[in-house]
């Protein structure tokens, strides 16, 4: 079960528990593919941990295209792996496993659990020293960023708080308190189960109507708008400083394109990475300002 804006802990293993990520080169290629997939499908990645036989990801289904994201990620990496290591069979064990996360409190728990994995496996003594997780990307200016570090930093509040949370998981044998329901696996409490079910039913209904509306009146796909926008301006949006004057101007223009060409509602636009931190009630005035300026 998922819906646009839902947070998930996702995992996939090598077929037969094969060490599909055993070499450093393999891990780096996986990260390169991950960066491209999240950019193309507009999925927010909050944390990752690459082990030798499997990977963990904490993501937000920010564009509603989580299934397409994993199809691209696993497919591209599978093609690479077979070319490098030989064989023509399955690379991954099967479809990725996904656990829906209730709220920020459980989100912090899931991220901490994922980052603590290398210590539990005996690969390092302290999670912060493991080179193939996102641990070193938070509260750091020097590391390349494969994840939305600002969002996670705001969750923890400080590097000290993050370290304390994760180290609390390093020595614990217990697993995440997952509840298995008819909707799937949930990282939630009993009250959260009904809340997530309500969100799923409400947002799925909205998304179905939105897709129908787009089909009826001929709105363009989100991916097409992003691709043409980047081509027109000869830019890579992931590399633009959105706090700069140029970045703010581009964001206003992108807002206009998303509203007019894709027919997105403000609440849908607010979930996209380029508009993180922008209040939804500010989007309307931004749109009207840009619309007036284009006349």
- Residue-wise burial string across 266-286, b where 16 or more C-beta atoms lie within 10 A, e elsewhere: bebbbbbbbbbebeeeebeeb
Residues 16-43: pLDDT tens digits? 888 999 999 999 999 999 999 998 888 9
Amino acid 204: pLDDT: 54
The full 3-state SS of the chain, as one line of letters, equals CCCCCCEEEEEEEEHHHCCCCCCHHHHHHHHHHHHHHHHHHCCEEEEEEECCCEEEEEEECCCCCHHHHHHHHHHHHHHHHHHHHCCCCCCECCCCEEEEECCHHHHHHHHHHHHHHHHHCCCCCCHHHCCCEHHHHCCCCCCCCCCCHHHHHHHHCCHHHHHHHHHHHHCCCCCCCEEEECCEEEECCHHHHHHHHHHHHHHHHHHHHHHHHHHHHCCCCHHHHHHHHHHHHCCCHHHCCCCCHHHHHHHHHHHHHHHHHCCCCHHHHCCCHHHCCCCHHHHHHHHHHHHHHHC
Asked if the model's pLDDT at residue 275 lies above 60, the reply is yes
Can you give the residue ranges of every domain in the chain? 7-181, 219-295
pLDDT in tens, 109-145: 999 999 999 999 999 999 999 999 999 999 988 777 7
Q: Which CATH architecture has domain 7-181?
A: 2-Layer Sandwich (3.30)
Q: Is the pLDDT of residue 200 over 80?
A: no
Using the predicted structure, report yes or no on whether residue 209 has a pLDDT greater than 50.
no
Q: What is the pLDDT of residues 46-88, one digit of tens each?
A: 999 999 999 999 999 988 889 889 999 998 999 999 888 887 6
Please give the pLDDT value at position 218: 54
Residue 129 tokens, joined: 């020293």
């Amino acid at each position: 079960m998922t819906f646009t804006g839902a947070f998930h802990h996702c995992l996939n293993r090598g077929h037969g528990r094969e060490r599909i990520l055993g070499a450093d080169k393999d891990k780096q290629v996986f990260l390169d593919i991950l960066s491209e997939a999240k950019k193309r499908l507009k999925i927010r990645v909050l944390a990752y941990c690459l082990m030798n036989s499997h990977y963990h990801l904490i993501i937000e289904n920010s564009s509603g295209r989580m299934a397409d994201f994993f199809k691209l990620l696993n497919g591209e990496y599978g093609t690479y792996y077979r070319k490098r290591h030989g064989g023509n069979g399955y690379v991954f064990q099967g479809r990725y496993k996904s656990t829906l996360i209730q709220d920020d409190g459980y989100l912090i728990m899931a991220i901490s659990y994922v980052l603590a994995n290398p210590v539990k496996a005996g690969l390092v003594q302290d999670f912060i020293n493991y080179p193939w997780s996102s641990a070193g990307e938070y509260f750091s200016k020097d590391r390349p960023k494969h994840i939305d570090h600002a969002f996670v930093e705001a969750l923890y509040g400080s590097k000290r708080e993050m370290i304390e949370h994760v180290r609390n998981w390093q020595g614990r044998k217990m697993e995440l308190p997952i509840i298995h329901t008819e909707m799937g696996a949930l990282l939630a409490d009993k009250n959260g189960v009904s809340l997530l079910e309500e969100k799923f039913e409400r947002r799925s209904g909205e998304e179905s109507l939105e897709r129908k509306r787009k089909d009826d009146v001929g709105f363009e796909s989100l991916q097409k708008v992003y691709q043409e926008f980047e081509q027109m301006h000869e830019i890579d949006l992931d590399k633009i400083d959105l706090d700069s004057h140029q970045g703010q101007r581009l964001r206003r223009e992108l807002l206009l394109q998303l509203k007019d060409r894709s027919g997105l509602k403000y609440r849908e636009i607010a979930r996209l990475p380029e508009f993180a931190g922008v209040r939804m009630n500010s989007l309307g005035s931004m749109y009207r300002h840009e619309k007036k300026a284009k006349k």
